[in-house]
Amino acid sequence: MRDYKIELQNRTEFIRDVLAKSGCHGIVYGNSGGKDSTLVGILCRKACRNVLGVIMPCSVKQNLQRDREDAILLARQFGIETITVDLGAAKEALCASARQGLNLSDAAKLNIAPRLRMTMLYAIAQSKNYLVAGTTNRSERHIGYFTKWGDGACDFNPVSDLTVREVYEFLRHLGAPGRIMEKAPSAGLFQGQRDEEELGLSYRDLDSYLLQGEGSPQAVGKIGLLHQRSEHKRRLPIDYRGPSRP
């Protein structure tokens, strides 16, 4: 088990260093009321006074009231400034425009929300001279369980090396609200959505593989396949490399 007292010190120093080198005045992040955004918010607030958490409902009513309450609870406990920006109308307008000549797939429609949220975060960041903090953990990154140019985009990420198991351990160390840790992990992309059900893979199995290299043949095979298929998400765009010029 990690020493989370030392982890806290190292990560807050990392955040301060990133801010100092960027010349930015603060940090903005999406406060979804989930485990990862909760940890990122706490770490950023302990490193910096100017931290803004943005709650961004976007049409889907999945646990909207509960998630909003959890996001506000976290913000109050740790002194994080919070605003709400409703992106529902923007999403509906975008989908309506696309319907004039395109037939968007269900997956494409679902991924509009995280991309709109990141658009808003960067608009706020540029307006305030802030940096955007990412919230994707190691487990999600390994299997590509994030939206490219959506929640996968950021200026820095203070939790990208932590598995889901370690995120929960860190939150307990920091005294985060218990009700946040009791919720089933969900990206909230559609009604009734649960991460593990959608993946057909438990975070317990995924983390056991990442941390101990253990797992059933079925789980290891699925993890390997998901990792391979999502490799493009973890890389910068592929540039053409022509013949070397003299």
Domain 4-234 = CATH 1.10.490.20? no
Give the domain ranges of the chain.
Answer: 4-234
Looking up tokens 């995280």 gives: 114
Q: Which residues are annotated as a binding site?
A: 36, 115, 135, 140, 148, 155, 186, 232-233
pLDDT in tens, 176-190: 999 998 876 666 555
Give Cα separations from 194 to 20, 51, 74, 172, 229 (angstroms): 38, 29, 22, 22, 21
Mean pLDDT of the chain: 92
Q: What pTM was estimated for this model as a whole?
A: 0.92
Q: What percentage of the chain carries pLDDT values higher than 90?
A: 78
Annotated binding site for deamido-NAD(+): 115, 148, 155, 232-233
pLDDT given for residue 231 in this prediction: 96
At residue 185, the pLDDT reads 67
What is the pLDDT averaged over residues 48-52?
97
The string of pLDDT tens digits covering residues 61-84 is: 656 788 899 999 999 999 999 999
pLDDT at 62: 58
> What residues are designated binding site for Mg(2+)?
36, 140
pLDDT for 10 beyond 90 = yes
Q: What is the pLDDT of residue 141?
A: 97
pLDDT-derived band at 147 (thresholds 50, 70, 90) equals very high
What's the average model confidence in pLDDT over 85-103?
Answer: 91
What pLDDT, on a 0 to 100 scale, did the predictor assign at position 221?
96
What local confidence, expressed as pLDDT, does residue 61 receive? 65
The arithmetic mean of pLDDT across residues 11-20, rounded, is 98
Q: Does residue 192 have a pLDDT over 60?
A: no
Q: What is the pLDDT of residue 189?
A: 59
